C-alpha cells in the first residue's frame, strides 16, 4: 500500500484525491440528522475537533450546502456489513457515512487518524476517499482486572485506545484467585471480603453497579461491546474466601495474593456450588446488555474430567437460562454438547488442536487469542522489565505476522469468529505498565483482525504506525518503542 496517511488498521480502499486539504477553521461545524442514536457520536466528534483546534465546534442538524462542515449520516450504499463506513474528505467538507452508528464510530476514528497539525498550529485533513469494512466481526481485548485492579478512569483510557484501533469487544476478566472485582447484588460478600487487595498486596478495588453502568455506556459510545467473565470452576479462590460454604470443610479459604494458577476449584457435590453459579452468573447476565457472558473454564488442574464437565454445564446453563450465549476458554471444547453458538477462546498453542476442530464441527465458533502472538503480557524481548514469558517473547512483528484462517490446523476458516488480544496483570501494576504492554502491539493485533489479508504488510504497517507514537505521546501514554517499529 502506498499511502502513508497513517490509518491503522489498514482500510480496504484509500484513494488520495487531488484537491487541497480540508482545513478546520472557526466556521467548522458538525452536521448530523436529528437522530437520537447519532447525537452522542456527533457530540464526541465535535468535542474531539474542538479539543484539537482549541475552539468549540458546534453541532447543527441537517442543512445541506454550506462549506466547512463535517457531515455525518446513515447511508445504505456503503460496503456490505454492519460496521462498514466511508470517509470522503474534500477541500470544502468531510463526509462520514455508514449504515449503523458502529460504522460511523469507525469513520470518526479514521478521520481522527487523518488529522494533521500545520506549522501555524491549525489542523487539516488530506483530501481522500476511504471505503472500509472489517474482516472479522469480533475484534477483542481481554483485560485481567482481577490480578491487579484497573480503576474506572484507567479502564476508560484502555477503552479509548481500543476504539482508536477499531476493536469492538472488551472482555473483562473480573474474578480470579486474588480478587473479585464486580459487586453482585445476590452475593455482596464477594467484594466486601475479596476485593481489597491485588497481587503482592498491592491496592485492590471493585466496580460498583454504578461504575459498571458507566463502563458499559463509555464503551458503547465507542462502538464497543462488553463481555464480562466470571471464571469457574477454577481460579475461584476469591469466592472460596468470601463464602465458606463453597469449601468442603465449611471453612473460608485464605486470601491468596501470589501468581500460581490451577490450585483452586469449586465442588460439584456441594449444593452451595450450584446456588452460587446460578446467582452470580444470573446476576452477571442481567447486568450485561450484550449477547455473551464468559464462564472462564481454564486451567482447572485438580479435578477429574467428569466433574469438570458437570460444572461447565451448570455454569453454561446459568448463562443460557438468562438468554445469553456462552464464551469459555479453550478447555471447554472438551465438554460435549456445548450450547448452540458457544464461543471457544483459543489461547494455548501447545495443545492438540483436535478438540477445537471437533467443537467447531459441532457448531462452536472459535475466537483466536494465541498466547505466542497476542498475549500482550508476554515480554517484548528477553529481560524486558514487565510481563511474563511462558508463551515466549512477543515483539511487534510476532503480534502482526500470523494468519487467523490457518493458525489452528484442521479448523475451517469460517469457524473463526475473530481475534482477541489479552493482557494479564500479574506483573502490571499501573496504567503506565498496562499501556507500555499494549502499545504498539495492540495496533498490530487490530490490523490482523480488521484488515483484509491482501492489505497486510509489516513494513507498510510500521510506516503507517510511525506517526502514532507522537499521538500516544500527546495523550500522555507510556509506550514501548519496539526496535521493530519506526519511530520519529
Ligand atoms: C494463562 S490464558 C492464564 C492466566 C494467566 C496467563 C498469564 C488463560 C486462560 N489462563 O490465568 O494470567 O496465562 O499469561
Residues 73 and 211 in one domain: no
R_g over Cα of the chain:
23
Of the residues 132, 147, 173, the one at which a domain ends = 132
Strand (E) positions, 243-317? 292-296
The catalytic residues are: 299
Residues 72 and 142 in one domain: no
Residues 108 and 31 in one domain: yes
- CATH number of the domain that 19 lies in? 3.30.379.10
Question: Which of 424, 425, 426, 428 for a ligand 1 pocket mutation test, highest count of atoms within 8 Å of Cβ?
Answer: 424
Percent of the chain with pLDDT over 70: 98
Residues 45 and 101 in one domain: yes
Residues 152 and 300 in one domain: yes
Residue 262: name the closest of 309, 297, 227, 217 by CA. Answer: 297
Residues 336 and 383 in one domain: yes
> Does 7 fall in a domain?
no
pLDDT at 122: 86
Taking a C-beta distance cutoff of 8 angstroms, is the pair 169, 220 a contact?
no
pLDDT at 61: 84
> Does 485 fall in a domain?
no
> Does 479 fall in a domain?
no
Residues 268 and 359 in one domain: yes
> Does 266 fall in a domain?
yes
> Does 483 fall in a domain?
no
For the Cβ of 389 lying below 6 angstroms from any atom of ligand 1, the answer is: no
pLDDT at 1: 39
Return the number of other C-beta atoms located less than 10 Å from residue 293's C-beta: 27
- CATH number of the domain that 319 lies in? 3.20.20.80
Q: Report how far apart the first and last C-alpha atoms of the chain are (Å, whole number).
A: 20
Q: How do residues 428-438 score in pLDDT, each as one tens digit?
A: 999 999 999 99
> Does 166 fall in a domain?
yes
Strands 343-346 and 365-368: parallel
For the Cβ of 177 lying below 6 angstroms from any atom of ligand 1, the answer is: no
**Ligand 1 atom showing the smallest separation from residue 296 Cα:** 9
Could you tell me the distance, in angstroms and rounded to a whole number, from the CA of residue 424 to the centre of ligand 1?
A: 7
Residues 342 and 197 in one domain: yes
Q: How do residues 60-77 score in pLDDT, each as one tens digit?
A: 886 655 667 999 999 999
* SS3 call for 229: strand
> Does 82 fall in a domain?
yes
> Does 241 fall in a domain?
yes
For ligand 1, atom 13, the nearest C-alpha belongs to 424
Residues 205 and 270 in one domain: yes
**Could you give the CA distance from residue 170 to residue 217 in angstroms, rounded to a whole number?**
12
Give me 56's grid cell.
Answer: 468549540
Q: Which residues form the domain of 26?
A: 13-132
Question: Which of 147, 198, 259, 261 for a ligand 1 pocket mutation test, highest count of atoms within 8 Å of Cβ?
Answer: 261
Q: How do residues 327-363 score in pLDDT, each as one tens digit?
A: 999 999 999 999 999 999 999 999 999 999 999 999 9
Of the residues 132, 165, 184, the one at which a domain ends = 132
For the Cβ of 424 lying below 6 angstroms from any atom of ligand 1, the answer is: yes
Of the residues 132, 149, 171, the one at which a domain ends = 132
Residues 225 and 93 in one domain: no
- State the complex-level ipTM: 0.90
Rounded to whole angstroms, what are the CA distances from 1 to 11, 157, 435, 467, 486?
10, 30, 28, 16, 17
User: How many structural domains are present in the chain?
Assistant: 2
Residues 287 and 432 in one domain: yes
Residues 226 and 125 in one domain: no
Amino acid at each position: 500500500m502506498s499511502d502513508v496517511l497513517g490509518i491503522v488498521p489498514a482500510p480496504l480502499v484509500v484513494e488520495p484525491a487531488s484537491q487541497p486539504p480540508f482545513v478546520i477553521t472557526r466556521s467548522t461545524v458538525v452536521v448530523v440528522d436529528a437522530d437520537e442514536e447519532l447525537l452522542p457520536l456527533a457530540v464526541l466528534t465535535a468535542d474531539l475537533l474542538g479539543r484539537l483546534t482549541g475552539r468549540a465546534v458546534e453541532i447543527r442538524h441537517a442543512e445541506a450546502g454550506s462549506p466547512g462542515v463535517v457531515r455525518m449520516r446513515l447511508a445504505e450504499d456503503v460496503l456490505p456489513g454492519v460496521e462498514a463506513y466511508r470517509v470522503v474528505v474534500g477541500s470544502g467538507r468531510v463526509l462520514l457515512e455508514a449504515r449503523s452508528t458502529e460504522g460511523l464510530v469507525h469513520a470518526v476514528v479514521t478521520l481522527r487518524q487523518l488529522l494533521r497539525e500545520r506549522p501555524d498550529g491549525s489542523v487539516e485533513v488530506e483530501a481522500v476517499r476511504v471505503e472500509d469494512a472489517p474482516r472479522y466481526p469480533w475484534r477483542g481485548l481481554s483485560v485481567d482486572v482481577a490480578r491487579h485492579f484497573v480503576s474506572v478512569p484507567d479502564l476508560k483510557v484502555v477503552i479509548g485506545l481500543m476504539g482508536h484501533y477499531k476493536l469492538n469487544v472488551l472482555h473483562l476478566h473480573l474474578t480470579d484467585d486474588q480478587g473479585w472485582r464486580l459487586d453482585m447484588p445476590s452475593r455482596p460478600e464477594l467484594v466486601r471480603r475479596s476485593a481489597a487487595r491485588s497481587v503482592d498486596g498491592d491496592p485492590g478495588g471493585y466496580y460498583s453497579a454504578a461504575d459498571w453502568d458507566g463502563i458499559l455506556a463509555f464503551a458503547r459510545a465507542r462502538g464497543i461491546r462488553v463481555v464480562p467473565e466470571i471464571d469457574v470452576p477454577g481460579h475461584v479462590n476469591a469466592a472460596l474466601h468470601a463464602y465458606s460454604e463453597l469449601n468442603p470443610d465449611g471453612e473460608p479459604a485464605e486470601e491468596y495474593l501470589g501468581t500460581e494458577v490451577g490450585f483452586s476449584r469449586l465442588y460439584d457435590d456441594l449444593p452451595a456450588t450450584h446456588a452460587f453459579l446460578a446467582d452470580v452468573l444470573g446476576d452477571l447476565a442481567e447486568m450485561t446488555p450484550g449477547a455473551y457472558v464468559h464462564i472462564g473454564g481454564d486451567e482447572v488442574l485438580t479435578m477429574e474430567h467428569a466433574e469438570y464437565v458437570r460444572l461447565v454445564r451448570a455454569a453454561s446453563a446459568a448463562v443460557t437460562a438468562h438468554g445469553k450465549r456462552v464464551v469459555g476458554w479453550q478447555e471447554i471444547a472438551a465438554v460435549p454438547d456445548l450450547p448452540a453458538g458457544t464461543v471457544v477462546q483459543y489461547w494455548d498453542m501447545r495443545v492438540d488442536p483436535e478438540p477445537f476442530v471437533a467443537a467447531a464441527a459441532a457448531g462452536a465458533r472459535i475466537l483466536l487469542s494465541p498466547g505466542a502472538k497476542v498475549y500482550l503480557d508476554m515480554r517484548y524481548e528477553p529481560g524486558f522489565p514487565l510481563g511474563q514469558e511462558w508463551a515466549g517473547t512477543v515483539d511487534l512483528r510476532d503480534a502482526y505476522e500470523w494468519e487467523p484462517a490457518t493458525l489452528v490446523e484442521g479448523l475451517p476458516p469460517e469457524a473463526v469468529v475473530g481475534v482477541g488480544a489479552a493482557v494479564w496483570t500479574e506483573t502490571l501494576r499501573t496504567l503506565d505498565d498496562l499501556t507500555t504492554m499494549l502499545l504498539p502491539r495492540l495496533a498490530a493485533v487490530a490490523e490482523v483482525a480488521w484488515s483484509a489479508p491482501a492489505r497486510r504488510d509489516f513494513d507498510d504497517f510500521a510506516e503507517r504506525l510511525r506517526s502514532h507514537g507522537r499521538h500516544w505521546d500527546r495523550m500522555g501514554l507510556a509506550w514501548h518503542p519496539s526496535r521493530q517499529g519506526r519511530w520519529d
